Structure 1
Amino acid sequence: MSPTSTPTNAPTNAPTNADVRRARDALRGQVIRTPVLFSESLDALAGCPVYAKAECLQHAGSFKVRGALYRLLTLPPQDLADGLITVSAGNAALGLAHAAREFGAKLTVVMPESAVPEKLAAVAAYGATVVTEGVVDAAAAFARAELLRAEHGLTFVHPFDDPMVVAGAATATLELLEDRPGLERLLLPASGGGLLAGAIMAKRTLGSDVEIIAVQPSGAAGFVASLVAGEPTAPPVIRTVADGLTAPMPGRLPFALAVQARTEVLTVADKEILDAMVTLVRTLRVVVEPSASVGLAALTHEPHLRDGRPTGLILSGGNINWRLLADTLRVLPGVA
């Protein structure tokens, strides 16, 4: 695959390689080129060299700001003027709230009542209007957002199933592959699929042969259910400590790209996720949320991955419930 080609059987609404390059250029100076962290002790635990891109240090605390900013950069001015609305358990809301403030646009965010309190407070602090009452889960949030959009004439910004959001998200993987061209494998958190779809597009844009593996919590395995069904499908249950990976189902665009790329999907248990989170805090000295830890959880619990191949992780966010972090650090072994 050449860096300038796009597969002829790509989903019709997929961003192009040119879109990804435009997103990279447009976001230069607007987002942080986050560092790639590594540690000999982490390598020893994982059984391979590990390079972790710290998007937990990004504006608004996650990679989501990349897609949000680029989507607003590509929106018609009238859509911005009409006001924006989105749905999120937290990180997409924070990313779009940051972007909306930068553009001077009004934003309404529908969030589940169970959202992490720190995320709810941070979204409101950016100046967004937060709607939670009666929103019991992500599916209910999307339904409420549609009612509000129609009632008030707002512009809906999808948190992951949008080609320009995917193009913006792709810049995280693009930077990682540019900074560490010797990587042979990427392990990425997946839920709605924006980061995963962006990684697939970044790989195509650079003409890289890196292997991309998606990782989900076993309690929110929407991609697994969708692969069985052959179309985006909700998992039988969504219950996980990784609140950032609780989309009701994968987006149609990310799912189509993942299927086309024949992406392997792995699942990890909540205990494995929390173990990995502690390991990242201890070895890399950064605060990450459970959602950002699933890649390392898979790497340390899947025997077939302990093969010595240089592996990249994207630490997708650091917007954690502080009580959860304190409790986890206190009770898990291996923490001084």
Structure 2
Amino acid sequence: MLSLSDIYRAAHVLKGVVRHTELIAAPKINPESNVYLKPECLQHTGSFKLRGAYYKISQLSDEEKSHGVIACSAGNHAQGVALGAKANGIKAIICLPEGAPISKVEATKKYGAEVCLVPGVYDDAYKRALEMRDEHGYTFVHPFNDPLVIAGQGTIGLEILDEMPEVEAVIVPVGGGGLISGVAYAIKSVRPDVKVYGVQAAGAPSMVESLKHGKIECLPSVSTVADGISVKEPGDNTFALCKEYVDDIVTVSDDEISAAILAMMEQEKLVAEGAGAVAVAAAMFNKVPVKGRNTVCLVSGGNIDVTILSRVINRGLIKSGRNYAVTIDLFDKPGVLADVSEVIGRLGGNIISVTHERISVDTPITSCSLRLVMETRNHEHIEIIKKGLAEAGYQVLAS
């Protein structure tokens, strides 16, 4: 299905087409590990997907090119196929789930592709793309389960080894498995001692479940902020390659993904989408054994939907202990709000929201509840504030 020469051939074709994304040192991601980022979020189209899509299209026969290509995607593969088709002078039709971020839909159109929005999720778009392929004779460019696409993605593995020969662990996002299949095959073929770990969103663990049960599993539903890896069912090719070449695949929560997005923005000035941040989340929260290792986290894409960015940042602040909300039971008398504010201010908290509630059947008539949201430094700082409020005689109802 795949050979190392296929990946080297893909690297030759892609030279001058894709951007060589140089590794970035990120020591603050996990102080116990020597972490580097492979920023494919800075790739043309904002994602690694250009590599596999362009290489696949470049290998089509003239007859296949004359019919045009069709693809399905949550967004990033769409842009890769659209740009690849435009560069090769052929027609492209892209089926996207209708819930795909508007930014990805519009970007796909700007690259010259025709967009077909399909109700449902990725798998529904996939079925519609196959129907249109059969109806009109288009060549289907699979987003992950195609040997040529996998070979194109595998060029990332070669780049990592070339730039960092001393690498000991590589962490890769996993949706359908095309990226990690290519990267793991390339790395293990050259350096079998290097550990390759995959990461899925907890809300879409299709490859995790498939490997656990030893057969391809189709999830009934998926739900995650990482829309780029929100795949119900992996491919047979990618399943086989992951089973043989990947050391382990773990999951991260949406809160952990949000914290990773925030960390990259603040520390490395990089914008990653949910799918692009899962590898960093795994390193941040020690989901894989990276302590003391030279570790590369693959940041697979940066096409985040800006309409949810503020919500993602807020979740990241809460997960990182940078934002703390608390409800306090108070005796309703003049000056009590000022006293609470004084305690929190003295301990370094910055109150950004106050809700004062007198009418509640759950509290005495002379009492009130105070809901405060404040900016904090970290989880240790939150504990200091909790202790300070308790010592001042205030009863914390919830936090």
> What TM-score, normalized by structure 2, do the two folds share?
0.77
1:280 Cα offset (Å): 1.1
Partner residue in 1 for 2:216: 232
- Once residues 317 and 304 of structure 1 are traced to their aligned partners in structure 2, the CA distance between those partners, rounded to angstroms, is 21
CA contact (8 A) 2:282 2:288 kept: no
Q: 1:43 to 1:227 in 2, by over 3 A?
A: closer
- Structure 1 position 20 matched with structure 2 position 7: yes
- Structure 1 position 41 matched with structure 2 position 28: yes
Partner residue in 2 for 1:286: 270
- Structure 1 position 167 matched with structure 2 position 151: yes
Partner residue in 2 for 1:260: 244
1:303 Cα offset (Å): 6.1
- Once residues 140 and 18 of structure 1 are traced to their aligned partners in structure 2, the CA distance between those partners, rounded to angstroms, is 34
The runs of 5 or more residues in structure 1 that have no matched partner are: 1-13
Selected match of 1:117 from 81, 97, 102: 102
AA of the residue aligned to 2:17: Q
1:183 Cα offset (Å): 1.1
- Once residues 189 and 304 of structure 1 are traced to their aligned partners in structure 2, the CA distance between those partners, rounded to angstroms, is 13
- Once residues 233 and 30 of structure 2 are traced to their aligned partners in structure 1, the CA distance between those partners, rounded to angstroms, is 33
CA contact (8 A) 2:259 2:313 kept: no
Q: Deviations over 1:134-191 (max 9, x none)?
A: x211221111111111111111111110001000000112101210111111111001
Q: 1:235 to 1:21 in 2, by over 3 A?
A: same
- Structure 1 position 183 matched with structure 2 position 170: no
- Once residues 332 and 215 of structure 1 are traced to their aligned partners in structure 2, the CA distance between those partners, rounded to angstroms, is 18
- Once residues 252 and 117 of structure 1 are traced to their aligned partners in structure 2, the CA distance between those partners, rounded to angstroms, is 31
**Runs of 4+ deviating beyond 4 Å:** none
1:330 Cα offset (Å): 4.8
Q: 1:126 to 1:264 in 2, by over 3 A?
A: same
Give 3-state SS (helix, strand or coil) of 1:50's partner: strand
Q: What does 1:200-279 correspond to in 2, within 5 Å? A: 200-261=184-245, 263-279=247-263
- Once residues 330 and 229 of structure 1 are traced to their aligned partners in structure 2, the CA distance between those partners, rounded to angstroms, is 36
- The answer to which structure, 1 or 2, has the higher relative contact order (CA under 8 A, 6+ apart) is 1
- Structure 1 position 127 matched with structure 2 position 124: no
Q: 1:59 to 1:226 in 2, by over 3 A?
A: same
Give 3-state SS (helix, strand or coil) of 2:270's partner: coil
Give 3-state SS (helix, strand or coil) of 1:41's partner: coil
1:291 Cα offset (Å): 0.5
Partner residue in 2 for 1:86: 71
Partner residue in 1 for 2:309: 325
Q: Deviations over 1:184-216 (max 9, x none)?
A: 111110011011001122114423421001100
AA of the residue aligned to 2:38: K
- Structure 1 position 95 matched with structure 2 position 62: no
Q: How many residues align?
A: 320
Give 3-state SS (helix, strand or coil) of 2:8's partner: helix
CA contact (8 A) 1:167 1:201 kept: no
Partner residue in 1 for 2:59: 74
> What TM-score, normalized by structure 1, do the two folds share?
0.91
1:43 Cα offset (Å): 4.2
CA contact (8 A) 2:52 2:152 kept: yes
Q: 1:176 to 1:129 in 2, by over 3 A?
A: same
CA contact (8 A) 1:118 1:321 kept: yes
- Once residues 308 and 42 of structure 1 are traced to their aligned partners in structure 2, the CA distance between those partners, rounded to angstroms, is 13
Mean Cα deviation higher: 62-71 or 202-211: 202-211
Partner residue in 1 for 2:91: 106
1:318 Cα offset (Å): 0.5
Partner residue in 1 for 2:365: none
Whose helix proportion is higher, 1 or 2?
A: 1
Mean Cα deviation higher: 28-37 or 221-230: 221-230
The runs of 5 or more residues in structure 2 that have no matched partner are: 324-374, 376-399
Whose strand proportion is higher, 1 or 2?
A: 2
- Once residues 205 and 23 of structure 1 are traced to their aligned partners in structure 2, the CA distance between those partners, rounded to angstroms, is 16
- Once residues 290 and 195 of structure 1 are traced to their aligned partners in structure 2, the CA distance between those partners, rounded to angstroms, is 16
Partner residue in 2 for 1:8: none
Partner residue in 1 for 2:19: 32
